[in-house]
Amino acid sequence: MSKSKEQQLWEACTSGDLDLVKRLANDPAVNVNWGDPELSRTPFYRACFYGRLSVVEFLLTFTKVDVNKLQGQGCTPFYIACQNGHKEVVSLLLAEMRIDINKPNNEQLTPLWMASQKGHLPVVQLLLASGKEIDTKAKSKAGIAPWNNKTAAEIGQFQATRATLYQGESEEDLLKGKQNGPLIATLIDSYEQNPQHVRTQLRKQLGLEGQFLLSPLLLHLSSHLYCPQSLHSHPSKSLLLPL
């Protein structure tokens, strides 16, 4: 059985075939917000899931694209980009006024919550530097907060169970979460105590001064990211974390 144009668009967004995406998305007969039967994931969601930057950028030019449409588990395209650590896509979406950056999924996990738990430090830095209202205190349905307000021992205990909590994660992902967890905890805690100072320092280190947000091109060129590991004791000290 031949595939519908909606299915073809969905697969093109998944693979990053921009030429095919352009042809199908410009067809007025194609429903660009079609969702797959399994989880109602839209073409835009798939592009964000796989970090297809050029496809995401193109689809954002269409007002008919529902950029916040939830999939079956309540996840938005922005949420999934944060979960998967696609910092270039996250940067692009943060500059789009239509994006709901705090929308939680069915388990009440926010994009910041998931990026924090996954150890995606560059994504957390972008969220806090954006100048937008970021909910740092949102808890999951089970009452679990992000990294902030957790002791080093609690973070270590959580990371010891990551393999069972997040099925299918690679060893690299597990290691990243373990290494970046304490850094993210310090960053969020510092942000809650003095958001303006932390935001200013992040924007300076990320090259965001005078901009709303870092462009995807500058993200590629950036070789360091700011991590205020000692903001409380050394508020003027800038620490750099190599990518």
Return per-residue pLDDT of the chain as tens, 243 residues: 789 999 999 999 999 999 999 999 999 999 999 999 999 999 999 999 999 999 999 999 999 999 999 999 999 999 999 999 999 999 999 999 999 999 999 999 999 999 998 889 999 999 999 989 998 988 888 887 766 555 555 555 555 555 555 555 677 777 777 788 888 988 998 999 999 999 999 999 888 776 654 444 444 444 344 444 434 333 333 333 322
Question: What is the reported pLDDT for 210?
Answer: 64
Question: What is the reported pLDDT for 88?
Answer: 96
Question: What is the reported pLDDT for 194?
Answer: 93
Question: What is the reported pLDDT for 159?
Answer: 58
Question: What is the reported pLDDT for 166?
Answer: 55
Question: What is the reported pLDDT for 44?
Answer: 98
As given in the structure block, the two tokens for residue 117 are 């738990």
Helix (H) or strand (E) holding 226: strand 224-226
Helices (H), the chain: 5-15, 18-25, 43-49, 53-59, 77-83, 87-94, 111-118, 121-129, 152-160, 162-165, 171-193, 195-206, 216-221
